[in-house]
Each structure stands twice: as structure tokens, then as C-alpha cells.
Chains A and B, each alone.
Chain A
């Protein structure tokens, strides 16, 4: 069989997504049977010249947010060169943590000058707003997560790179993937364009903690309490975003007693993650007195940065509609 030409690239990001590709356990050794990595600067040290010399790419995994002019250029170049472009990880899919800088747009002025300015490598010009990959070019598939869980990385590799060539694809028949994707992986054909490689409901659907209608009187941070292992974290006063977040991770964080931070983006039925969280959190306030409500609400710090931690550029309805003010 012919091997697929594959590229992996990170724009503005921490490259943990690229590490995650290498972290798919022993399956990584079989990858070379199907994939020929023509362009992978982080691991292979490839240069842009290598990309220009190579044939058309079959699949490109694009990680990281679009923050600088060179990120934008890379996105355009890779889009042009590849048949399938995947927004890989929360930054590429929704803008991710770098996207939080959209709360203070304006770019350069926010940068600190280093004491030894002369030896500083020059940073490419910053865009006024951080964008997700989808806001610059069309991405064919989306794989959310910070970083994406191994099973989904394996699923997307099976689906887009191996297609019908690998017997391991059969295992996805009973996976947590939405049915159309799971069927496509099984059949060895491409899933419907624009598919998100994650679940459809909210994280709560796969979180094993028991949800009762408990109220809390004050909001707590993770270091302040030792959460009860079996009970819903939100009901214990922790700010868990599972209720507004797309499932797929299987409740990894909540399983370990850490509140969900929302790296899979908003769940299908949610209009705006912040609004959903406001609604969910407020409903747990245990009071009917206005003053007390106000007091509890004042305990929360940095709501925008918390509720849109990974999704500010792409899923915050209020800021998203401000594109005209670029």
C-alpha cells in the first residue's frame, strides 16, 4: 500500500498536542506503516523548504492558535498543500488559552521587553486578535482537547491516515464516538466533513459522580477542600464546567477529583458556555436573599477567563460577533 503524506505543525501553542501523538503507546510503532511524515518540524526538524519540495499532503494535523502573522501564513500554506486539514487540539479548534488575550486586545503593548533586548529573537507581528484555525481557513475535521486524549488521536489516525488498511479500526464500533464517525472509521471511509472527534452530550453524561440537588453557600477553590470522591464536584462548591462542555474525555479530570476545565469546547446543545455556566452555578446558590446572592456572586473571580478558558475566540458569542472591529 502507499503511505499517506502526513504533516504535523503547531502555530502558537505549547506543542503538547504533538507530544500527545507520540504518546499513543505501542501503536506509535505501527504508524510508519501507513504514514510518511513529510513535515514535522518539532520531531523531525523539517523546514518549510521540505514542505515546498514535497508532494501534496494527504493529512495535516494543525495544532495551536493563530496569534502571529506567521501563524496565519502557515495556516494558509498548509491548507493549500493538504487534502485534509485537521484542527488538532483546543487551541486550533477554539483558540485555546492563547485566545484569552482577546480580553485585552491590542497585541504588542502587552509584551514585556526583556532586559537584554538586543539578543532577543524578533517576534513576527501579532494579530490584533487571536483566532482559531477555522476562523482563518476551512478545517475539515476537529479534534478537541488539551491535549487530545490518546484514544481520539488513535481514532483520527485510524480514520484519516490508515482508513481501511488497519484491522484495529474494528475496535471503534463500540467507542464513545458519535455513530456516523464510528461507522465511517469501521467502514474505512472518511467521516462526514466538519465532524468533531468527540462525544455529543455534556461531560456530566460520562462522569460517574452522583448528582443530587445539593446547594452550596460559598464557592470553593480546588486547594481549599478535599472533594468527596463520589459526589458531583459542582454541588460541593467547586467550579466544574462539565455541564457546558462536550464529552468524549470520559470524565478524566472529574474522575481524579479535578473540576472540568472545558477543553473540549461547548457541548452541542449549548449556545454560549459562559451563559450556560452562569445558569448552572447560580442555580446552586442556597439563598433567597438578594444581599446574600450578591455576596456569593462576588466570591467568584475572573468569570470570563474561567468559563471561556479554551474557547474565547471561537465560542464566546459576545466577542465572536466583533469580527468587524478586527
Chain B
């Protein structure tokens, strides 16, 4: 039987989420094995290029994990990741990447359960969404923003 296994690239912050992932393993929490973990020093160093490159190279989903706002080891690195995530999501959306495929999550070192939950959720979600590569037909299935704007314009 040919079951689709999504490939999820995860960028985990060294100080919080990576530790949580480690703890989730040590505590033998049940978690899906679809992740490929990349340990980074801070979620703030995950440039949008990394995310786009992951998708371009065939990832089905990207998870960025960082410390909770205010807890960053480098004071405000996670705020930088957060600030970028909105525009990045919007750009990915316009290029045909569904919202569920990119996630930014705050997972503290003491939250292995949350890590396992997020990974399982994402893995299940992507399984039903299907492969990014084969689902890709048209970058924007929905009218793009400016079209929406035109449609709702009082002059049209």
C-alpha cells in the first residue's frame, strides 16, 4: 500500500523547542516520524529564504519552533521571527502554499507534550492536504488580494 508520508522540515530553537523535542523523545511521547529537524540557535535566524528553499526542494510543510515571546535567549530573536511570519505567510499563500503548510509555534523547553501535539497535528493535517508537489496546479486558487479589492470597490 502506498501511503503518503509528508515531509516536514522543522527549524527548532536550540534553547527551547529543540530541548522540548529532545524531552519528548526521552519521555517516549508518541509522535509522528515525518519531521526532519534542523537545530538553529534562534528562531530569529530562520530567514524566509530557508522556508522558501525548503518548499522549493520538496518539503510538504515547514515548522519553526521558538521560545515564548519574552523568553528568548537572545532577548528578542523570536519577535523577529514572529514579525516576519505574517508577510511570509502571505507571500507563500500567493505562490500557492496553503496556510497549514507553514507554522510558527512557541514551545518552551518544559513543553514536550505541546511539541508532540504540534508535530502530530501538523503531520495529520498535511496527510489530508496531500503532497505539496502534486497538489500544486495553480499558485492562487482564490482571487488575489487586489482582485478582491477590485470586487469590493464601490466604483465597480
Contact = CB atoms under 8 A, between A and B. Distances in A.
Judge: A and B partners, yes or no.
yes
Interface of A: 102-106, 270-272, 274-276, 278-279, 281-283, 285, 287-288, 290, 293-294, 296-298, 300-305, 307, 316-322, 325
17 contacts: A102-B139, A103-B94, A270-B49, A275-B52, A275-B88, A278-B48, A282-B86, A282-B87, A293-B83, A296-B86, A297-B87, A302-B94, A303-B90, A304-B139, A317-B52, A319-B139, A325-B136
Contact of B47 (A102, A275, A300): A275
SS of B interface (majority): helix
B19 interface: no
Nearest to B70: A288
Nearest to B145: A301
A317 B47 CA distance: 14
A226 B58 CA distance: 44
A103 B139 contact: yes
Contacts of A320: 56
A106 B49 contact: no
B29 interface: no
5 pairs of A and B residues whose beta carbons are closest in the complex? A297-B86, A275-B48, A304-B94, A275-B49, A317-B56
Interface of B: 47-49, 51-53, 55-58, 69, 76, 79-80, 82-84, 86-88, 90-92, 94-97, 136-140, 144-146, 149
Contacts of B84: 278-279, 282-283
Contacts of B82: 290, 293
B53 A301 contact: no
Contacts of B76: 288
A41 B47 CA distance: 46
A295 to B, nearest CB: 9
A102 B137 CA distance: 11
Given A301-B145, A316-B95, A318-B97, A278 B55 contact: no
A236 B76 CA distance: 24
Given A302-B146, A303-B94, A317-B53, A322 B87 contact: no
Most chain A beta-carbon contacts within 10 A, residue among B55, B80, B84: B84
B79 A288 contact: yes
Given A103-B139, A105-B138, A279-B84, A304 B95 contact: yes
A103 to B, nearest CB: 5
